[in-house]
Structures are given as structure tokens and as C-alpha cells.
A and B are shown apart, each in its own frame.
Chain A
């Protein structure tokens, strides 16, 4: 209790992201997380290098295409997330203006 009271009230964003990512990684079935920047270069990953590069490159194109599709239909709309469900696992992609996050999960684990 004493430590809790004495805890510094930090501004929220800094720790939160790291914690969120840790939680995601800890969820059951999650195989890996990749954070890719706008140019398609992975900046943070929990997978090995070759897989990361492969995922980043391929998914980058897919996201661009999907986003272009959504926005062409209605420019005020934007892509929120993309799920690619396959036999073995599911790839979830959440794009942002500058980054996008890829999570590979096997939901039936």
C-alpha cells in the first residue's frame, strides 16, 4: 500500500503503450507483434528478423491497397482495421496515419 501511495503519477502515454503491447503479447495464442512505420520498415518486433521483414513488406502493400479501396469509395472514410483469417492463424492489422501494428494470433489455441 505504501508503494502504491508513493507512486509517481506519470503522464499516461509513455508507459501505457508498452504495457498494452505486453498484454497483447501475453494473450493466449498470440504468436507475434510487429510495429511497422509508414515506409514499411519494421521498428519493433517480437518475431525473428526474416519473418518480420517478410510480413512487413507483404502486409504493407495489402494495407495500402485496402485503405485505398475504402477511401476511394468515400474519401471521408478510413480503414480502421483489417483481419486476415487463414487456416492456421489470424493476422490482425490496425493501421494508423504513421504506423501500423500487426499481430499474429492463433485464436483456437
Chain B
């Protein structure tokens, strides 16, 4: 969205290369910056920012909605990937352990799963059932949908960091094949969110994403 030239590189040990242990991170010159928040700050320091046109109240709202997405959508995604037995067994273990030989793939996958489960317990999601998690996702999508309304982007004409974040999460939810499609169904209930994703995909990714998966509107 900022029109910055980037090269996307996929590495199996990306989590270990990152200074904070989390992906994504960017490598610019001799600096390494990880996670969305610091990356946005870094880019802003270099002179590119999407949220300069917002006033103070809007900036506050944008930050709040970004936290909402992080709090609910991210946690729900983690939950679904690592705490739902069906998904874990069929998809996550295989996917997470694929770059490594046996038995490392098993060990690392179990380790990550244990870590995620601990975190869920600490924030109170340990006792939640899948239905409750889906209900929370629904609430979150409802809030986002209401905030978006009929506008093209969350803060009217120009995209901001919030749009990038929401697009990232929703696109992943909509295009990842899982054992059950309930999560993507919840998102598909909100037509303005679907249209929003389609719009961003067309505008910013179509020329680059030739042949990769696109949103299936069933």
C-alpha cells in the first residue's frame, strides 16, 4: 500500500532469525525489524506513512481496532490451528513440521503446540470450546463490518494500517483450507467485508499474484 519495493522470502527458521521470535520481520540494510507495530514505526521513520491524514480521535480508533483484531482474530486463528484436535492432527502438525526430517518435525510441532496451549490458558481461552471461539470471531467481524459500513476503506478514501491488518487476517481465513470451514463461513456472512477483501486483492495484488489462490466466493 505504501508502494515500497519488497522481496518476500520464505524460510523455515524464520521464527528463530527474528529478533523477537515472531514473524514477519523485515531486513533492510543492516537492520532487522520484526512484527507489524515496529515495522510500521520503522517505515514511518523513513518517511512513508498511511495514517498521516487522520486526526487524533481517528488515530485512537485505528489503534483500538487493530488491537481488537489482534486480540480476537489472531487468538482465534491460533486456537483453531493448535487447540482444535481435528485441525491439529490433519493439517497443522504436517504443515509445521514439513521442512524438518523425522523426528524433529514431531518434536517441534508438539513443543509449539504446548507453548500455544499455555498462552491460551494464561489469557483465559483455555477453557473455551470451538463454538465459543467462533462466536467471538463473529462478534469481532460484526464490529469490523459495522465500522466499515459502506465505505471503501475503514477511514474513508485512503487505506491505513488497519486496512492492511484486517485484510491480512481475513484473506488468510478465507483462503486457507481447513478441516471445517466454519471460520471462513463466519466471515463470509458479512458481505461488505468480503467486498473489502476482494477490492484490496484486486487493487494491490492482482498483478503480482498470478496463479496463486484467490478468494472463492461460493
Say if A and B assemble together: no
Interface of A toward B, CB cutoff 8 Å:
none
